[in-house]
Amino acid sequence: MNLDFLFDKLWEIYTLQNPDVQKVYNLFKSDGEDVLNDHIAFRTINDKRINIDVFAQPFLNNGYEYVNNYEFTEKHLLAKHYEHKTLNNAPRIFISELILEEFSIDLKSFMLDLINKIPEKAFLSEELIFSGNLWGKPSFEQYNKLRQESEYAAWFYVFGFCANHFTVSVNNLKKHNTIQKVNEFLKNHGFELNTSGGEIKGTPEELLEQSSIKSGLIEIDFIEGKYKIPGCYYEFAKRYPDSTGKLYSGFIAKSADKIFESTDFYQK
Ligand code: NI
């Protein structure tokens, strides 16, 4: 599977499920902008059949290499980031995993049961990362129960394997070339920003500023009926050069920690 196919497939599923993302993308395009991705992020569980290293495989097979890792103690997550060895415009890949051992026996055994339901051959397939929910129709009651311990686990239970977010590189925008301008543009068009930790996470001194729209509410067919819950979100990142003049390429754990909350449950 080549990279273009992989990215197209991920984008297709992501925008189909999250019409707000396509609307924002179209807004930028119709304003004459070229939209390049800073990074694409994924969520998974630290079970060895589906952990970060399994998720990274299709990218490693296509010229990516490991760059750095991050810890989110409060949310009980680990993450790794990968970059393409030669293609400068290829998005960074950011993959996080839930550390099951740090949760209740209930949550842990529930999530293990889900993974056990995945057909054996899916574990080895490069298509795993966009294969969605492989354990059948979710329960709204169970979704809410998981949320009390981990919004991340609840999100994963409903959506499974897919891109959690794409991130627009603000550095590559011509007109909307600051996070402030991007945020104003989005708000003027009726999109709601994730305000946890402020509208802008990070500072120019930290070499990375990020913002995101809250995940749009999408209707999910649960066992108990149809309910609207937050899907995926769209993120925006502006990077600054470090003291050597090289554009900072890492991630800032305390900013990412707040960005994770873009999929937290809310109602309208
Ligand atoms: Ni991100």
What CATH number is attached to the domain comprising 131? 3.10.180.50
Q: In this predicted structure, what is the pLDDT of residue 260? A: 83
Q: In the 8-state DSSP scheme, what is residue 201?
A: B
Residue found under tokens 């997550």: 77
Work out how many domains the chain is built from and give that number.
1
Expressed in angstroms and rounded, the spacing between residue 195 Cα and the centre of ligand 1 is: 15
Q: In this predicted structure, what is the pLDDT of residue 159? A: 97
**Residues lying with their CB under 5 A of ligand 1, a single-atom ion:** 41, 167, 235
Q: What is the mean pLDDT of residues 167-195?
A: 96
* Tens of pLDDT, residues 248-268: 999 988 878 788 888 888 877
- Work out the number of other CB atoms within 10 angstroms of the CB of residue 13: 18
Expressed in angstroms and rounded, the spacing between residue 56 Cα and the centre of ligand 1 is: 16
Task: Decide if 188 is inside a domain.
Answer: yes
Task: Decide if 58 is inside a domain.
Answer: yes
* Tens of pLDDT, residues 2-16: 999 999 999 999 999
Q: Do residues 97 and 115 touch, judged by C-beta distance below 8 A?
A: no
The β-bridge relationship of strands 217-222 and 37-45 is: unpaired
Task: Decide if 221 is inside a domain.
Answer: yes
CA distance 39 to 65: 14
60: containing domain: 3-263
Expressed in angstroms and rounded, the spacing between residue 49 Cα and the centre of ligand 1 is: 24
Q: In this predicted structure, what is the pLDDT of residue 60? A: 97
Expressed in angstroms and rounded, the spacing between residue 168 Cα and the centre of ligand 1 is: 9
Task: Decide if 203 is inside a domain.
Answer: yes
pTM comes to: 0.95
Task: Decide if 97 is inside a domain.
Answer: yes
H helix or E strand, kind and range, residue 155: helix 151-159
Task: Decide if 268 is inside a domain.
Answer: no
Task: Decide if 184 is inside a domain.
Answer: yes
